[in-house]
Structure 1
């Protein structure tokens, strides 16, 4: 079949955080440019149709960073992710060449509040990595201020992004990172923030105190978190056009 418009990625590493959560690193044949926060459509060949079976995943890697990095949750009843978990290093994964999405930084504002559940942190990681590069190269004169709230039931579900973002927050005064877990009783060693993302959002918004007319907010991940967080952000005085969301799945409504 004609696979023009697609590229073959090579799986070079998978790091498991839980049975159903993993970081996938894939090497592209050439450098991949995109806007931080956008998503790639990747998948495997479907033997029944002879075409790739594709799903969208936000990129955690920065533009032109090699390898490409994806933080993926396995859906046991899904058609694609169980097959991704079966892949060995060196396996081929197809990617649509066009990277798309509008969940990107609103550069008309200085302050950026970013809330995520589990894998929803991926676009924020891309944005942070890209800003660090832009500041180092002189492509950006002044940094945008960022507050990232990253939640999960357990700390291990936050992946390697806790040490990465915590270290970057220590190194860069423009970045604040708050990981939070909603089931702290399952891990006595956890000494960080506790509660769901939407439960701690207002607390950290108040402490950060960004001006509402110069602030954009982003919510990414679980639909319930997004709906609740959007309400909190609206009540905090943020304008509707400054609110951005990326729901990773749509919940089914029972008949």
Structure 2
């Protein structure tokens, strides 16, 4: 027998895409969004999330967190909305990214903030706080949303007026969208609230639901109806839990990918 050199095993495929940052939008000192190149084979449903991160420093393991995709499923680029958490292992670095930099993205999108997890209804409520607006940017630009619901209401609650990222987009820019602009102009309503500054619609969204102010402002019957309303929730844990309890009190039932229902929340973020 003769000794033969064994060929090294083929490298294990990476669990992540390495993608170029195409653009960065800085809304405030701690609030930013960025767009990255979309892999040709990456498919997702509007409203899903994916793992986003950066390589570890000094040869350490990559640091990744779950981020909702703010782009609709048809977009050729992928957009994400983030805050910079002081001393946050990921966001304290991510906030410094520039066009041309590289970020990591997981290959398997998932989530329950999708139309498939809801049964049919007349009005779709997309209720979010802070960066919980991100999946609504995706769902509100999906043609299926307007085909399934006669009215779409995007509710966004933040602490300060400056935090109302995409306010101009939802009040006017979306109407210029070549795919769903006409539908959005006719069917979409944007309802922002601010908790720490003077504003036309002040306070927490849950307080405005309990008082009935939101329904009066929008000219709708008071309360949610399981016959009429479908709701998606994303944002702070406190808001999600309180709103879910309110919805259950109105008779709405939580849905999932396996069993669609009247409202959905993202349990991967809630814990």
Q: TM-score range by the shorter chain?
A: 0.7 to 0.9
Match of residue 195 from structure 1:
203
Match of residue 164 from structure 1:
169
Gaps of 5+ in 2: 1-10, 176-181, 256-261
Give the ranges of 4+ consecutive aligned residues of structure 1 lying more than 3 Å apart after TM superposition: 47-51, 140-144, 168-171, 247-251
Q: 1:115 to 1:66 in 2, by over 3 A?
A: same
Alignment of 1:22-61 (within 5 A): 22-30=32-40, 32-47=42-57, 51-61=61-71
Deviation at 1:240, TM superposition (A): 4.0
Match of 2:227, SS state, is helix
Alignment of 1:236-251 (within 5 A): 236-241=250-255, 242-246=262-266
Match of residue 17 from structure 2:
7
Task: Tell me, yes or no, if the aligned pair for 1:14 and 1:23 is still in contact at 8 Å.
Answer: yes
Task: Tell me, yes or no, if the aligned pair for 1:216 and 1:243 is still in contact at 8 Å.
Answer: yes
Match of 2:66, SS state, is strand
Task: Tell me, yes or no, if the aligned pair for 2:53 and 2:65 is still in contact at 8 Å.
Answer: yes
Which of 121, 127, 131 aligns to 2:133? It is 121
Q: Does 1:109 align with 2:123?
A: no
Deviates more, 1:240-249 or 1:141-150: 240-249
Deviates more, 1:80-89 or 1:92-101: 80-89
Higher strand share: 1
Alignment of 1:21-100 (within 5 A): 21-30=31-40, 32-47=42-57, 51-100=61-110
Distance in 1 (alpha carbons) for counterparts of 2:124 and 2:149: 11
Distance in 1 (alpha carbons) for counterparts of 2:129 and 2:147: 31
The alignment covers a number of residue pairs equal to 239
State the structure with more CA Rg: 2
Task: Tell me, yes or no, if the aligned pair for 2:70 and 2:136 is still in contact at 8 Å.
Answer: yes
Distance in 1 (alpha carbons) for counterparts of 2:43 and 2:64: 20
Which of 151, 156, 165 aligns to 2:157? It is 151
Deviation at 1:144, TM superposition (A): 4.6
Match of 1:200, SS state, is helix
Q: Does 1:180 align with 2:180?
A: no
Gaps of 5+ in 1: none
Q: 1:149 to 1:248 in 2, by over 3 A?
A: farther
Match of 2:55, SS state, is strand
1:78-104 deviation per Cα after TM superposition (whole angstroms, max 9, x unaligned): 211111122222001111111111221
Distance in 1 (alpha carbons) for counterparts of 2:247 and 2:110: 26
